[in-house]
Amino acid sequence: MRRDTTRAERIAGLVWLTIGAIFCLFICVLYIGTRIGVGGTSIPFPWPIVFAALFNAALTKTALLWTPNQVIAAIPVTVWFLGFILIAALPTLPLGGDTLLPSTPWTILLLTAGLAGGAWPLRPRFPVDSPTVTK
C-alpha cells in the first residue's frame, strides 16, 4: 500500500478505479455478441469474457495499492457486479427498455469471469513456512 498519499488522493484513486469498472462493464456488454467470419461461417468470439476477468483483476490489484482494507478494495468489482445485475434486470423494470445482455451461456461466463477476476487479488494468501527441524 502506498503511504505517500493523502486520504483525498486515495479516495480519488478509488473513485477513478470505480469509473474504470463501469467503463469495463459497458465495453463487455457492448461486445459480448461479437462474431467473426471464418470462411463462410460466422462463429462467436466472446473476447469480453477474458477482458472482464483481466481488467477487473487489474482494478482490484490497483485498489489494493491504495488501501489495505479488502472490503474497500473490492468496491470497483462490486460496482461492476451491481451494474451487471441492473443491466440484466433492465427489461423487467417499470421504465425498462431493450434487452442488452443476450440469453446465452456467454452472459453467465461473463458474470463468472468478471467476478472471479475481480476477486482473485483478494484471495487469502497463507504463508508457506519451511518445516523446522528441532533437535
* Buried/exposed code over 47-72 (b: 16+ C-beta within 10 A; e: otherwise): ebbebbbebbbbbbebbbebbeeeee
The pTM of this model reads 0.84
pLDDT in the model for residue 2: 66
pLDDT of residue 44: 86
Query: pLDDT, tens digit, for every residue of 88-120?
Result: 887 776 776 677 787 888 899 999 999 999 999
Task: Tell me the percentage of the chain whose pLDDT exceeds 70.
Answer: 90
Q: Give the tens place of pLDDT for each residue, 119-133.
A: 999 988 777 776 677
